[in-house]
Amino acid sequence: MIKKVLRGICEGKTLAEIAEEMDMEYSALIAMLEHMVKMGYLVRGKKENNEICSTCPLQKVCSERNYTVYFLTEKGKKLVGSC
Amino acid sequence: MIVALAGNPNTGKSTIFNALTGMKQHVGNWPGVTVEKKEGEMEINGTRVKVVDLPGTYSLTAYSLEEIITRNFIIEEKPDIIVDIIDASNLERNLYLLTELLELHSKIIVVLNMFDEAQKKYNIDVDLMSKILGLPVVPAVGIRGKGIDELKEKILRGKFNPKKVEYPEDVEKRIEKIEEKIKKLGLEPARWYAIKVIENDVEVVKKIKDKGARDILHLAEHLRHEIEDIYGDDIESVMTSFRYSFAHGLFHEVAEPINVGGVTITDMLDHVITHKIFGIPIFLAIMYLSFQFVFLVAAPFQDAIDLLFNGKDAAGGHIPGLVDLSYNWMLTFMPDWLSSFINHGMLRGLGAVLTFTPVIMLLFLILSFLEDSGYLARVAFLMDSVMKKMGLEGRGIIPLMLGFGCNVPAVMATRTLKDENERKLSIALNPLIPCGARIQVFAFLSSIFFPSNPALVLWSLLILSMVVVFFLGYIYSKTIFRGKSEPFVLELPPYRMPTMKGISIHMWEKSEGFLRKAGTIIVGAAAIIWIFAALPWGVEYGSPDSYIGMFAQWIAPIGTAFGLTPEAIISLIFGFFAKEVVIDVLYVLFGSKDAILASMTWAQAYSFMLFMLFYTPCVATLAAVYNETKSKKFTLFVILEGFFLAALFSFTFYTIFTLLGVGA
Ligand SMILES: Nc1nc2c(ncn2[C@@H]2O[C@H](COP(=O)(O)OP(=O)(O)O)[C@@H](O)[C@H]2O)c(=O)[nH]1
């Protein structure tokens, strides 16, 4: 199942599409992604803040965005083969 | 008797722990670490039971402290019973932990908590689940104390005949081989140790090494490679996948979704909102209506504030506003130039910002609503899929669109993109997306120059910037920044109805930030402009003989081709430091809304806005660009790109409309 999820990401599918395709619950898929992060197949893309940000009047807005980006690691890419 | 509570985070573990133990609790730390340990006591029919609350976890790997604590407690303290608290409304997710627990312990009671919520989603066959697992399964609603008595009953008298998580034959065979050896070593539960040592679990390997059983490690390594060869993947993914399949299968056996296909509101909305064809038109429509709403509602408030500060020219003469009154009052005790500086310079500028407050707040209100509801994240996603449809390789558009608020963090977010070219592509396009501050400035200018339909004007600028980003993105990705796209996936938050409180807080934070900045800068900007407009000593304020007037005459020819008036150019120069200042500058130069309106034809005004849409990003963004790329050349590229687009669009627009003769 792990490989299937990774392949889906490789093919540019959305999480909703992957969940649908695997007939999985969305929340279960997210938990699985987190598990895969721990195992080293994915990394979470963090939003980084630093000083320059504080010069922007909208810094508070951007520090609150509620999304997470997941990227494949080398280990993840190796598992799916071609990506 | 010891009972341990395990479960995912947020499944109602604490709620149930409290229901079981009441006041008899003791909170401490797990030995040697700062993870909270809660223990309590209860009595069931005279039997004293100690209850231990284990940390909330999704799995039992050796990768996190909480997970290690949990599994070590089960292995070492050997509780009599484990109660797995499951959030039944997210059943599949919760079942993975159960599969891991099944390998660790034989007496598990499954509590299907949040059963009230779960029943809205699916029918769960509790008896079937109990039969399949060979374990007691208790539906519960922790917050209402439902199921607690049954749970207590099962703790005393539950029957356990647990099913193993079975792996395929060729794996099972190998697990058994190791299991026998582990048994001889005296480690319990032997099957779990066997599975983990095959999986190369660091903690377990270490433990076996400490026991001096190198032969087991060698054998495990050998068997691991065999399994990896059979399945063609690394061991961890093979074994973990089997467990996920087990959980997945169990879920489908016992839970039947209530609405066909398990379509949630989020799914339904997503089908429409991120629709390949309708998604973009829907987005544009939402933006248009939002802008209309903002201007319509803000207008009366704006007029009132403007009246308060600047007064009004009525038939009977000028009705003085605060600025006039304060100017005259200050004349009584200070020289004319000082009073003029304070009032015509700073107070008027402050008024400008304040008149704009209603628009700022409403616009932020809408943006907060769109963001909190989960919509904006989808727009980012939508843009990405459009780019994909266009065959665009570089998919840096996501961090880019998320920079809708501010370009600076968006530029920094590109750090997550590993491919150099894709990253550059994203950074190069980034400043072309109007940030929140720029949208505010455009809203302001639209409302001044196009009072009859500011929303339409603002909307047209937004569309233009999107088109340019798509188009340029396409060109770049096929030419200078031909990158390899980094595969990624975005977790979109579920839609929810934003709370009034949440939105108000967001709106307030954003508006305050914006106003505070515009307010502080204005003092400096106003002072500088006022000085240049009032000097050399003795000239009429702002006349062609003043420094600013001379500069304007000098710069004027450059602007004519683009329809830029000298004042517009001056405001653009200041806008380089922060786009908000453009508003301030215009106000300080002209004094009133009407005067600003009178200073340009509508074609000039629109040209001016087009120029502003693209010309160089603000200092902070450029600093971020340089910081991220460490390339002066690239930073210069970003500036030139902006100026090129700005010149291109304003020139084309202005020329066409002047030729048509409709600009005046
Ligand atoms: N709808 C519903 N909510 C529950 C139930 N049990 C707990 N909750 C709520 O779920 C949230 C998390 O509960 P908590 O006990 O703190 O979870 P823990 O993190 O697992 O300890 C709280 O807001 C509880 O009020 C339940 O059976 N039904």
pLDDT at residue A61, as a whole number: 43
> Where does B114-186 show beta strands of DSSP type E?
122-124, 137-139
Q: Which two tokens stand for residue B314?
A: 């009525």
Burial call B171-188: b when 16+ CB within 10 Å, e when fewer: beebbeebbebbeeeebe
B203 lines ligand 1 (CB under 6 A): no
Distance B67 CA to ligand 1 centre (A): 21
Number of structural domains in chain A: 1
Q: What is the ipTM of this complex?
A: 0.84
pLDDT at residue B313, as a whole number: 75
Chain A nearest C-alpha distance from B645 (Å): 24
Distance B9 CA to ligand 1 centre (A): 10
Chain B nearest C-alpha distance from A18 (Å): 10
For A51, the domain range is 2-80
pLDDT single digits (tens) B23-82: 778 888 888 787 889 999 999 999 999 999 999 999 999 998 999 999 999 999 999 999
Distance B11 CA to ligand 1 centre (A): 6
> What is the Cα–Cα distance from B256 to B259, expressed in whole angstroms?
9
pLDDT at residue B160, as a whole number: 95
Query: A47 vs B233: CB contact, 8 Å cut-off?
Result: no
- The CATH code of the domain that includes A74 is 1.10.10.10
> What is the Cα–Cα distance from B338 to B20, expressed in whole angstroms?
75
Residue at B461: amino acid letter: L
Q: φ and ψ at A33, to 5 degrees? A: -60, -45
- Comparing CB atoms, the residue among A9, A27, A66 nearest residue B487 is A9
In this structure, are residues B616 and B643 in contact, taking their beta carbons and an 8 Å threshold?
A: yes
CB atoms inside a 10 Å sphere around CB B153 = 14
Chain A residues whose CB is inside 8 A of the B487 CB are 9-10, 12, 71-72, 77, 83
Q: For residue B565, how many C-alpha atoms fall within 13 Å in the half-sphere facing its CB?
A: 20
Chain B residues whose CB is inside 8 A of the A41 CB are 237
> What is the Cα–Cα distance from B220 to B200, expressed in whole angstroms?
8
Distance B61 CA to ligand 1 centre (A): 25
Q: Does A45 touch chain B (CB under 8 A)?
A: yes
CA B389 to chain CA centroid, nearest Å = 24
Chain A nearest C-alpha distance from B427 (Å): 15
Q: Does A54 touch chain B (CB under 8 A)?
A: no
CB atoms inside a 10 Å sphere around CB B438 = 23
pLDDT at residue A52, as a whole number: 39
> What is the Cα–Cα distance from B299 to B575, expressed in whole angstroms?
25
Query: B513 vs A32: CB contact, 8 Å cut-off?
Result: no
Distance B85 CA to ligand 1 centre (A): 11
Q: Which two tokens stand for residue B271?
A: 């089908």
For residue A50, pLDDT beyond 50: no
Q: Does A82 touch chain B (CB under 8 A)?
A: no
Going by C-beta distance under 8 Å and a sequence separation of 6 or more, which residues neighbour residue B225? none
Q: Does A28 touch chain B (CB under 8 A)?
A: yes
SS3 B163: coil
Blockwise average pLDDT, block size 10, chain B, 664 residues = 95 94 85 86 93 94 92 95 96 96 96 93 94 96 94 95 92 95 91 96 94 92 95 93 96 84 64 78 88 88 85 78 89 86 77 78 81 74 69 52 61 70 81 78 87 90 87 83 68 68 76 72 72 76 77 82 86 81 80 82 91 85 84 92 93 88 60
Query: B491 vs A30: CB contact, 8 Å cut-off?
Result: yes
Distance B116 CA to ligand 1 centre (A): 11
If you write DSSP's letter for every residue of B46-87 in order, what string do you get? TEEEEEEEPPP-S---SSSHHHHHHHHHHHHH--SEEEEEEE
Q: Which two tokens stand for residue B504?
A: 């108000």
B142 lines ligand 1 (CB under 6 A): yes
pLDDT at residue B365, as a whole number: 84
> What is the Cα–Cα distance from B435 to B425, expressed in whole angstroms?
18
Query: B489 vs A18: CB contact, 8 Å cut-off?
Result: yes
Q: What is the arithmetic mean of pLDDT over A1-20? A: 87
Domains assigned to chain B: 2-157 (3.40.50.300), 279-314+334-659 (no CATH)
Chain A residues whose CB is inside 8 A of the B509 CB are 60-61
* Ligand 1 atom, smallest distance to B141 CA: 27
> What is the Cα–Cα distance from B194 to B207, expressed in whole angstroms?
12
pLDDT at residue B596, as a whole number: 85
> What is the Cα–Cα distance from B407 to B493, expressed in whole angstroms?
22
Percent of chain B surpassing pLDDT 70: 90
pLDDT single digits (tens) B161-199: 999 899 999 999 999 999 999 999 889 899 999 999 999
Chain B nearest C-alpha distance from A26 (Å): 9
Q: φ and ψ at A13, to 5 degrees? A: -75, 155
Chain A residues whose CB is inside 8 A of the B513 CB are 57-60
Chain B residues whose CB is inside 8 A of the A57 CB are 406, 436-437, 510, 513-514, 516-518, 578, 580
B542 lines ligand 1 (CB under 6 A): no
> What is the Cα–Cα distance from B117 to B146, expressed in whole angstroms?
13
If you write DSSP's letter for every residue of B317-352 in order, what string do you get? EEEP-HHHHHHHHHHTTS-HHHHHIIIIIIIHHHHH
Query: A58 vs B405: CB contact, 8 Å cut-off?
Result: yes
B114 lines ligand 1 (CB under 6 A): yes
Query: A10 vs B627: CB contact, 8 Å cut-off?
Result: no
Chain A residues whose CB is inside 8 A of the B266 CB are 26
Q: How far is CA B595 from CA A51, B320, B589, in A?
A: 39, 16, 9
Pairing of strands B47-53, B2-7: parallel
- Residue nearest atom 17 in ligand 1 by C-alpha distance: B12
B12 lines ligand 1 (CB under 6 A): yes
> What is the Cα–Cα distance from B498 to B364, expressed in whole angstroms?
14
Query: B248 vs A24: CB contact, 8 Å cut-off?
Result: yes
Query: B240 vs A45: CB contact, 8 Å cut-off?
Result: no
- Comparing CB atoms, the residue among B406, B514, B619 nearest residue A62 is B406
Chain A nearest C-alpha distance from B625 (Å): 11
pLDDT at residue B367, as a whole number: 76
A45 forms bridges with which residues in the sheet?
Answer: A69
> What is the Cα–Cα distance from B130 to B137, expressed in whole angstroms?
5
> What is the Cα–Cα distance from B367 to B287, expressed in whole angstroms?
10
B11 lines ligand 1 (CB under 6 A): yes
Helices (H), A1-83: 2-10, 15-21, 26-39, 59-62, 74-80
- Residue nearest atom 25 in ligand 1 by C-alpha distance: B143
pLDDT single digits (tens) A63-76: 444 557 788 888 98
Pairing of strands B122-124, B108-113: unpaired
B56 lines ligand 1 (CB under 6 A): yes
Distance B54 CA to ligand 1 centre (A): 16
